[in-house]
Structure 1
Amino acid sequence: MQELMMMLNKNVNLLVLFAIVLGLIDFIVVIVINSKYTKLKNKYKKLIKELEMGDVVDLLAKNISKNDEFNEKLEKFRKELSMIDNEMKASIKKVGIVRYNAFNDVGSDLSFSIALLDSDDNGIVISGIYGRNETATFAKPIIKAQSNYPLSAEEIQAIDKARKGQR
């Protein structure tokens, strides 16, 4: 049982680490886009100064070419950001855990239900039922906070906790 808890804890930690890494990638993309924006703003200021003293047609032609390059790069960043957002939606973001005593003759709350859900409330609920002579583990798929399999009261409670952001 303890091994299962350690394995679940390790898996949850890996999933949290994965979400953090994706968040950092998202943050880096935003910084890159901000850097490009700052460079464009500086070029615009330079253009305004040049317009005051140069050939307007040549300067506009150069800037239109540079603007097209910028728009292509910006579109590429938008697509990459969209892909990252889609990956983030599918990652586990919500975790709910309920510990309970499944049998009267067994002391302590050694049984558990843990719900692992993404942003659309899809994922799994895992339950471990601890008894004196044996332990059973169940996993049920969750789609939109519901399952095609019957859910115990503790599993429903774990899903509700996960949806509400409670641990």
Structure 2
Amino acid sequence: MEIILSFVEANIVWFMAGVLALLILFCILLVMNLVKFKKLRRRYEAFMQGQDGKALEYVLADCAEKVNLNQDEVQNLKRYVAGTVERKVNNSLYKSKMLRYNAFEGMGGDLSFVWVLLDDGNNGYILNNIHNREGGYMYAKIVKEGNCEQRLSPEEEQVLRDVVAQRL
């Protein structure tokens, strides 16, 4: 024990210097924490303006009200888009088929064609292009509910049956 006491007495200056360095380090850390705490306190007070955080309560209530209004608007938009898209899709000519054929023997190729375009209710058009040596002729026939009032060629009948049978 005497050895330890004599060692401490001989090096007391170094021990005191070490304690002083630790004290200075702790003081610097304390000042840094106080500065951070002050900034945090200012932010907290700005966030909690008013008595007992009443301003925060009003802000949250206002946000909840805006969310509800936005949800109502989103639902209205969904209904509008769904109705508009459904109407446009049902009225669009998306069922279709084309058949190329040789209208006249010896013409060299399937240059004539029948093209049927129908909507969801099987209403639409039959387009028939007949190609011969002098040129081509295009005929359009109206289809209502899968039937056509004009007389149809075998190619037109075949393509119309195929398109009416399509399920999408």
TM-aligned CA distance change 1:67 to 1:101, over 3 Å: same
What does the per-residue CA deviation read over 1:44-71, in whole Å, with 9 as the maximum and x for residues that have no partner? xxxxxxxxxxxxxxx99x9789657634
Q: Does the residue aligned with 1:99 lie in a helix, a strand or coil?
A: strand
How far is the alpha carbon of 1:105 from its aligned partner?
A: 3.3
Counterpart in the other structure of 1:79: 80
1:101-120 alignment, distance < 5 Å: 101-120=102-121
> Which structure 2 residues correspond to residues 50-65 of structure 1 after superposition, within 5 A?
none
Equivalent-residue separation in structure 2 for 1:160 and 1:108 (angstroms): 24
Structure with max Cα Rg: 2
User: 1:133 aligned to 2:134?
Assistant: yes
Using CA pairs under 8 Å that are at least 6 residues apart, name the structure with larger relative contact order, 1 or 2.
1
> What amino acid is the match of 2:107?
V
Uncovered stretches (5+) of structure 1, i.e. residues with no partner:
1-58
Match of 2:100 in 1: 99
Is the contact between residue 96 and residue 160 of structure 1 (CA under 8 Å) also seen in structure 2?
no
C-alpha distance in 2 between matches for 1:110 and 1:65: 63
User: SS where residue 148 of structure 2 aligns?
Assistant: coil
Unaligned segments of structure 2, at least 5 residues: 1-59
Q: Per the alignment, do residues 65 and 111 of structure 1 end up closer, same or farther by CA in structure 2, a change over 3 Å counting?
A: closer
CA-atom RMSD, angstroms?
2.9
Q: Which residue of 1 aligns with 2:147?
A: 146
SS of alignment partner, residue 121 of structure 1: coil
Partners in 2 of 1:73 and 1:104 — Cα distance? 61
8 Å CA contact 1:92, 1:123 repeated in 2: yes
Partner SS, residue 147 of structure 2: coil
Report the AA paired with residue 140 of structure 1: K
Quote the Cα distance in structure 2 between the aligned partners of 1:151 and 1:67.
58
The residue type paired with residue 150 of structure 1 is R
